[in-house]
Amino acid sequence: MVRHRRHGCTAVSVLVALLVAAAIAPPGRGAEVNVYSYRQPFLLKPLFEAFQRETEIKVNVVFARRGMIERLKQEGRNSPADMIFTVDIGRLSDAVEAGVLQGVRTPRLLANVPPQYRHPDGLWYGLTVRARIVYASKARVKPGEVTTYEELASAKWKGRICTRSSQHVYNVALLAAMIAHHGEQKAEQWARGIKGNLARKPQGNDRAQVKAIEAGECDIALVNSYYMGKMLQDKEQSQWAKAVYLVFPNQNGRGAHVNISGAGIARHAPHRKQALALLEFLTGELAQRMYAEQNFEYPVNPRVAWSELVASWGRFKADPLSLEVIARNRAKAIRIYDRVGFP
């Protein structure tokens, strides 16, 4: 079992969850679809409002920081959930393993989402792509000093790297990709090298790593690409963003590691038709443009252009490694982080 990914529910929390779930879709209303989401509601609200304007289908959302899969299993056939949203391939994989999703395939979905960003049986579809890249200090790191993930383990970077917890899904996925490319032994050596190069104990979220670079606590950090756009929109955080530049690693090789946010239709979806319409809408061109402009993520739909700001960071080569392979390696990655004592 993947450590700390499964969160048990107390009897009280299960009862409360069932009552809330029953309340989001009372009988007698018009067409609607019920969403359980790991993504924060404010990120999804504009998309759902656009969907409702286009289809007159109302979207009801229940946000969960954790425990969504356990909740779906507890609710079983009585679940009101039609669709689940997640922020990482790991959680999508957990949902597949738990048997709480159903496969769907339509010509529109297959046209909107490339094969590497969807489950082979249609159990989930990617909605956005993000790259886990290097943010480097403009003042202390010269262009070209770091070009690959592998060299981050070099002694050159001793005491110069910041990152969030190794157990966070983003870092687990990155190490899972390293396992796929290099094998467990070399991936463990890499993780040990990164740990030895840390400037401080892992702490905070991705933005906190960029703040630490601006404050001089470290020189480089592993951070998701879209945070640059988010920080530039914030008066305080824009100073952090302006202190760094972006490095997309391994551009002369396999390409930069990418992950997705994604969604799948719940196994017992009571409004399957509406859920399918929502999934097709979210992978379609209007919603994908909204994702690109508002969240600074890369559209999964190849027909949709990047936002102007994101495009200004430059084109990059993405690692074509299947996300299914990354998902299968997550447990190994967590064990490696544990063995090397990476916090």
Residue 244 lies in a domain: yes
Tokens of 143: 């262009």
Same domain, 18 and 48: yes
Q: pLDDT grade, residue 17 (50/70/90)?
A: very low
- What's the rounded mean pLDDT across residues 187-210? 98
pLDDT of 180 higher than 60: yes
The amino acid present at 185, given as its one-letter code, is Q
Residue 2 lies in a domain: no
pLDDT tens per residue, range 105-138? 999 999 999 999 999 999 999 999 999 999 999 9
SS3 content of the chain, % helix, strand, coil (to 5): 45, 15, 40
Residue 317 lies in a domain: no
Strand partners, 134: 222, 247
Strands (E), 144-274: 161-162, 220-224, 244-247, 258-266
- Give backbone dihedrals phi and psi of 310, rounded to 5 degrees, phi first: -60, -40
The answer to whether the beta carbons of residues 87 and 126 sit under 8 Å apart is: no
Q: pLDDT grade, residue 42 (50/70/90)?
A: confident
Same domain, 36 and 185: no
Q: What is the pLDDT of residue 8?
A: 41
Same domain, 80 and 194: no
Write out the DSSP string of 244-296. Answer: EEEE---TTTT-B-EEEEEEEEETT-TTHHHHHHHHHHHHSHHHHHHHHHHH-
Same domain, 86 and 170: no
In our burial notation (b when 16+ CB lie closer than 10 A, e otherwise), range 172-203 reads: bbbbbbbbbbeeeeebbbbbbbbbebbbeebe
Number of neighbours of residue 12 by Cβ within 10 angstroms: 8
19 or 265: which leads in pLDDT: 265
- What's the rounded mean pLDDT across residues 251-271? 97
Q: What is the pLDDT of residue 30?
A: 56
Number of neighbours of residue 139 by Cβ within 10 angstroms: 11
Write down the residue that tokens 């905070």 correspond to: 204
43 or 54: which leads in pLDDT: 54
CATH of the domain at 220: 3.40.190.10
For residue 152, the enclosing domain spans 130-257+323-340
- What's the rounded mean pLDDT across residues 153-181? 97
Its pTM stands at 0.87
Q: pLDDT grade, residue 41 (50/70/90)?
A: confident
Residue 1 lies in a domain: no
Residue 155 lies in a domain: yes
Q: How far apart are CA 36 and CA 330, in angstroms?
A: 23
pLDDT of 14 higher than 60: no
The answer to whether the beta carbons of residues 77 and 51 sit under 8 Å apart is: no
The answer to whether the beta carbons of residues 104 and 279 sit under 8 Å apart is: yes
Same domain, 65 and 149: no
* Sequence-separated (6 or more) residues with CB below 8 Å from residue 89: 173, 259, 260, 262, 323, 326, 327
Q: Give the chain's mean pLDDT.
A: 91
The amino acid present at 122, given as its one-letter code, is G
pLDDT of 18 higher than 70: no
In our burial notation (b when 16+ CB lie closer than 10 A, e otherwise), range 252-266 reads: eebbbbbbbbbbbbb
Q: pLDDT grade, residue 148 (50/70/90)?
A: very high
Same domain, 213 and 193: yes
Residue 39 lies in a domain: yes
Write down the residue that tokens 């890499």 correspond to: 190
Asked which of 38-42, 108-112, 223-227, 327-331 is least confident by mean pLDDT, the reply is 38-42
Residues of the chain with pLDDT > 70, as a percent, come to 91
Residue 31 lies in a domain: yes
Strand partners, 130: 259
Same domain, 209 and 295: no
- What's the rounded mean pLDDT across residues 5-34? 47
Same domain, 108 and 15: yes
Same domain, 174 and 197: yes
pLDDT tens per residue, range 289-311? 999 999 999 999 999 999 999 99
Residues of the chain with pLDDT > 90, as a percent, come to 87
Same domain, 219 and 308: no
- What's the rounded mean pLDDT across residues 178-204? 98
- What's the rounded mean pLDDT across residues 61-75? 92
Same domain, 73 and 46: yes
Residue 318 lies in a domain: no
Strand partners, 256: 318
Q: How far apart are CA 182 and CA 336, in angstroms?
A: 14
Same domain, 109 and 46: yes
Asked which of 18-27, 70-79, 187-196 is least confident by mean pLDDT, the reply is 18-27
Domain count, the chain: 2
Helix 285-295 vs helix 41-55: crossing angle, to nearest 10: 150
Write down the residue that tokens 């262009």 correspond to: 143
